[in-house]
Amino acid sequence: MSLDRNAFFIDGDWATPADADLIEVVSPHTEEVVATVPEGTTADIDAAVAAARRAFDHGPWPRLSPEERIEVVQAFSNLYAGRMGEMAEIISTEMGAPLSFSNLAQAPAPWMQIEAFLGIARAFPWEESRPGVLGSPVVVRREPVGVVAAIPPWNVPQFTIMSKLVPALLSGCTIVIKPAPETPLDPYLMAELLQEAGVPEGVVNIVTAGREVGAHLVAHPGVDKVAFTGSTAAGRKIAAVCGEQLKRVSLELGGKSAAIVLDDADLAATMEGLKFASLMNSGQACVAQTRILASRSNYANVVDALAETVAGMQVGDPLDPATEIGPMVAQRQQERVEKYIALGQEEGARVVVGGNGMPDGLSSGWYVRPTVFADVDNGMRIAQEEIFGPVLSVIPYDDVEDAIRIANDSDYGLAGTVWTGDAESGLEVARRVRAGTYGVNTYTMDFAAPFGGYKSSGIGREFGPEGLAHYTELKSIYQP
């Protein structure tokens, strides 16, 4: 079946692009073109924002009751549940995530988000009456924030769209989504499901395009709120524009999370956990635990165990169900990871597994060798900068106090983990690391709870009632 497309989803229908330019979607495994789709321009964004604006200012969606909107989103959720296998395959095809990861997370996690948000919306205080201090009750309402611009990255495309789309829909907002040019295919399937579920025209609009067109959307006067997931560098620029225009903005940015391995941890279980926590999505994950902190006395054991674990992971064709690590999304990403592997060696770190060059048995595709560095100092660039690939640094610590200091010695504060035989001491460590999410002997997100970053990892939270609240404005109504 051809994955080619020739239109954008605007105003509830398939719209002819303003320009004839195409994006070639290239398989990171075969390096061959697997589909072509239109590349959005500022004119397409203008049409999408105009449709979203009309739907917000004059359409039925913001004026429906929360229960009526919940019904439509529930229909969308049910349709999504039936197409997850297809969605997983599309995502693996376009950006190279191992199908094992796509079947576990790329497709099911967005659906779990929809269901979690539906539960939250059913119990949300959309309009409440509070006893006022002046004697009369005050009505407090949560109203939709308006037209939302959603800008996701390519690494977990549906995951990062759904965390914005679903709370926007449930709140009564309308939305323009600008997917990343590396992952333009999955939104087409999503758009079909939204249409089938009965989302009214103009409520959701999707235009895939690059950065400059994304910047046009951010600055567009018709947009009330920007919801962005991506690099910290882009996040800063977007925040500056939103600050100037006083637009609401939420930012989910980069990370350099630390996994603290305490001496009482079960090493085999820890390694099994780190396979996912550090190397999910071939290491292309904002929450990846890329700094592994081990005590000096246990250091050699941790390095050996990690080296053996990483060396044993299957690298190759993302569509092979046995693959654990696939290619990088693009050639520039492969080159970036290789640059960091060379840099680590220049900085004096020791490669214990991997290094530059193609993985054994592969001669094409944008692959890198999964790499473990030992003898890493936390001040090195490989320990401070987000590499976004399967490259781990093992850093020694003196005692637990020192481990917490090193974990916190980062511009980022997105996530972290601690691995220990004693859950209570794990919780104690969790309380002291400055990060928005933290795992004790696991790293699995729970969509009932807020997710987001401290420091340069972002502003605001997604998921949970907190993530829904970002799509509302508060209004207080006084009465005599």
Q: Which residues bind ligand NAD (CB under 6 A)?
A: 151, 153-156, 160, 180, 210-211, 214-215, 218, 229-231, 234, 237-238, 252-255, 286, 386, 388, 414, 453, 458
Report the alpha-carbon distance of residue 199 to residue 165 in Å, rounded. 12
**Pick 117 or 154: Cβ nearer ligand NAD:** 154
Output the smallest distance, CB 251 to ligand NAD, in A.
8
What the block records as the tokens of 290 is: 């890329």
Output the smallest distance, CB 279 to ligand NAD, in A.
15
**Pick 400 or 445: Cβ nearer ligand NAD:** 445
Output the smallest distance, CB 149 to ligand NAD, in A.
9
* CB environment 113-124: b (16+ within 10 A), e (fewer): bbbbbbebbeeb
Report the alpha-carbon distance of residue 460 to residue 440 in Å, rounded. 23
Beta bridge partners of 139: 129, 477
Residue 242 falls in the annotated catalytic set: no
Give, in degrees to the nearest 5, the angle at Cα 304 between 301 and 306.
105
β-pairing, 147-151 vs 137-144, is unpaired
Report the alpha-carbon distance of residue 35 to residue 26 in Å, rounded. 7
* Burial classification of residue 211, based on how many CB atoms lie within 10 Å of its CB (0-12 exposed, 13-18 middle, 19 or more buried): middle
Determine what percent of the chain falls in helix, strand and coil, rounding each to the nearest 5: 40, 20, 40
Residue 286 falls in the annotated catalytic set: yes
Output the smallest distance, CB 12 to ligand NAD, in A.
23
**Pick 83 or 336: Cβ nearer ligand NAD:** 336
Output the smallest distance, CB 234 to ligand NAD, in A.
3
**Structure letter (DSSP) for residue 135:** S
Output the smallest distance, CB 417 to ligand NAD, in A.
16
Output the smallest distance, CB 247 to ligand NAD, in A.
13
Residue among 39, 89, 182, 252 flagged as catalytic: 252
Residue among 89, 94, 173, 286 flagged as catalytic: 286
**Pick 172 or 214: Cβ nearer ligand NAD:** 214
* Element housing 101 (H / E): helix 99-101
Report the alpha-carbon distance of residue 205 to residue 132 in Å, rounded. 41
Residue 416 neighbours by CB under 8 Å, 6+ apart: 257, 258, 259, 260, 289, 407, 430, 433, 435, 437, 438, 439
Phi, psi of 262 (to 5 degrees): -80, 160
* Burial classification of residue 63, based on how many CB atoms lie within 10 Å of its CB (0-12 exposed, 13-18 middle, 19 or more buried): exposed
Output the smallest distance, CB 475 to ligand NAD, in A.
29
Residue 410 neighbours by CB under 8 Å, 6+ apart: 256, 258, 291, 384, 455
**Pick 151 or 165: Cβ nearer ligand NAD:** 151
What the block records as the tokens of 98 is: 């191992």
**Pick 253 or 407: Cβ nearer ligand NAD:** 253
Report yes or no: 175 and 52 within 8 Å, Cβ to Cβ. yes
Rg (CA), the chain: 23
Report the alpha-carbon distance of residue 156 to residue 310 in Å, rounded. 22
Catalytic positions:
252, 286
